[in-house]
Structure formats: structure tokens, C-alpha cells
């Protein structure tokens, strides 16, 4: 029996997970459901998979519609704690591993280009691998207009993450500019990107023995340059 965990990391990862949750509740009278029933419906829709999020910011975690929320140590800024990078990273690894315990398949989702998601996605991949899980990463590449620094960070993050996962699915945000109606904001366009993530995760989970294929799938690019 597979044990699937889907983890969104960083602000963008949380938005992706929220879209998965909302998508799973389509057709439901949400007002009539309490929190426990919502989690149950989402889990049923995702065939038992568990959705979780991780971020360094409490506010950002508060915006997540999921039950399991991991507060990560913000490595660079936690000097107050007087702990070394290694100590803080070890603490992060510990909470991530505990959250992923028992997983046989782990989906990791985030928008690359920021700090948290870009750095932590590969740490999460390490933890998943240690547990012997098949890992599938779904990552987006920032819009060109965001900033060269974000592009650079995303490219480095992608390079680090790729060898650590069984399959990496890359989604180029820029390509979605073509299908967005005139006047769309970047957030409107991220909706389409997040739909890509939501639909892919849902379709894979619904596919019998998908993990056998994705064990060796390598790299998949949605909307190449």
C-alpha cells in the first residue's frame, strides 16, 4: 500500500497546496463542513495522500488550508539563537523527516527563485530519499520580468534538486503569459501554473502504479523555452 505525502515549501508551495485542497473540495458544500470533514474529503479525493506545507514564516503557514504545517528555522537570520548553520539545518531535517515518516512516495512542490523553497526543496528531497521514498518534484521557474537574481537562484536550485529526485517536473511561468487574458496580474497567471501542479499531482495519484514509471522518469518540462 502506497503512503503518499505532498509537501509544498515556501510561499509559492503553500499556494500550490491550497489550490490542491480547493480543487479537492469542488462540488462540496464547504460551508457545511467542519475542519475535520474538510481534511477527510481532501484525503479521500487524493486517495489517502497527505498534504502538508513547510515555511520559515508563521504568517505564511497560517494562510495554508492544510492540517500539517512545518515551521522551519530560517537559517540565515536565526543568529539570535546562537546556533550554527549545521545545527539549524539538522533541526530542520529532523522535523521534515518526522513529517515524512512512512512515506513511499513524496511530491515536493515550490516556485523556485525565492530563498526558502529553493534551498529547502533539496533538503526535503534528501530526507525523502533517506526514508526510501520515490520523490517527484514539481517546480516553477520565475517570470523573466521578476529579476535576474531570482532567475539565477532558480537555476541553481534546479541544478541542486534534479539529481536528488526520481523525477523533476519543470514548469516555465513565462510560457503562461501566452494564454493569460489581457490585463492578468502575475497572481492570475500563477493560478494557471498552480493548476498545472494540481492537475499533475491528482492525475498521477489516480494512475495505477504511477510510481513505477516515475521512479526513472528523470526530467519533464512543461512549456519549454
Ligand X SMILES: Nc1nc2c(ncn2[C@@H]2O[C@H](COP(=O)(O)OP(=O)(O)OP(=O)(O)O)[C@@H](O)[C@H]2O)c(=O)[nH]1
List residues binding ligand X (CB under 6 A). Answer: 10-12, 15-16, 110-111, 113-117, 140, 142, 146, 150, 173, 190, 193-194
Q: Which is nearer to ligand X, 116 or 167 (CB)?
A: 116
Q: Which partner in Mg ion, ligand X, none is near 193 (CB below 5 to 8 A by kind)?
A: ligand X
8 binds, among Mg ion, ligand X, none (CB under 5 to 8 A by kind): none
> Is 111 a residue that touches Mg ion (CB under 5 A)?
no
How many residues bind Mg ion (CB under 5 A)? The answer is: 1
- Residue 45 binding: pick among ligand X, Mg ion, none (C-beta 5-8 Å cut-off by kind): none
Residue closer to ligand X, measured from CB, 15 or 211 = 15
Query: Distance between CA 36 and CA 137 in Å, rounded?
Result: 28
Of 13 and 211, nearer to ligand X (C-beta) is 13
Pairing of strands 134-141, 167-172: parallel
Closest approach, Cβ 186 to ligand X, in A, equals 8
Select the span of 9-17, 23-31, 75-83, 207-215 touching Mg ion (CB under 5 A): 9-17
Q: How big is the chain, counted in residues?
A: 225
Going by C-alpha positions, the residue among 138, 217, 202 that lies closest to residue 173 is 138
Check residue 11 for interaction with Mg ion (CB under 5 A). Answer: yes
Q: Between 11 and 113, name the residue whose CB sits nearer to Mg ion.
A: 11
- Select 56 or 211, whichever has its Cβ closest to ligand X: 56
Alpha carbon distance 24, 42 (integer Å): 5
Of the chain, the end-to-end C-alpha distance in Å amounts to 38
Q: Which residues are near Mg ion by CB under 5 A?
A: 11
Amino acid at each position: 500500500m502506497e503512503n503518499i505525502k505532498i509537501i509544498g515549501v515556501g510561499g509559492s508551495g503553500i499556494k500550490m497546496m491550497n489550490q490542491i485542497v480547493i480543487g479537492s473540495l469542488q462540488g462540496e458544500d464547504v460551508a457545511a463542513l467542519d475542519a475535520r470533514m474538510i481534511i477527510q474529503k481532501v484525503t479521500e479525493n487524493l486517495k489517502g495522500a497527505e498534504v502538508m506545507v513547510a515555511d520559515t514564516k508563521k504568517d505564511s503557514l497560517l494562510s495554508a488550508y492544510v492540517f500539517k504545517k512545518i515551521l522551519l528555522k530560517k537559517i540565515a537570520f536565526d543568529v539570535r539563537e546562537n546556533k550554527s548553520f549545521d545545527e539549524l539545518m539538522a533541526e530542520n531535517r529532523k522535523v521534515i523527516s518526522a513529517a515524512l515518516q512512512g512515506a513511499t512516495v513524496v511530491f515536493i512542490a515550490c516556485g523556485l527563485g525565492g530563498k526558502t523553497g529553493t534551498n529547502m526543496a533539496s533538503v526535503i528531497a534528501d530526507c525523502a530519499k533517506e526514508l526510501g521514498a520515490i520523490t517527484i518534484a514539481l517546480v516553477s521557474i520565475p517570470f523573466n520580468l521578476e529579476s535576474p537574481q531570482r532567475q539565477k537562484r532558480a537555476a541553481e536550485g534546479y541544478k541542486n534538486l534534479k539529481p536528488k529526485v526520481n523525477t523533476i517536473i519543470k514548469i516555465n511561468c513565462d510560457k503562461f503569459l501566452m494564454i493569460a487574458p489581457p490585463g492578468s496580474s502575475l497572481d492570475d497567471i500563477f493560478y494557471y501554473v498552480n493548476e498545472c501542479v494540481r492537475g499533475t499531482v491528482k492525475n498521477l495519484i489516480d494512475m495505477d502504479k504511477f510510481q513505477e514509471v516515475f521512479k526513472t522518469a528523470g526530467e519533464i518540462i512543461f512549456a519549454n523555452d
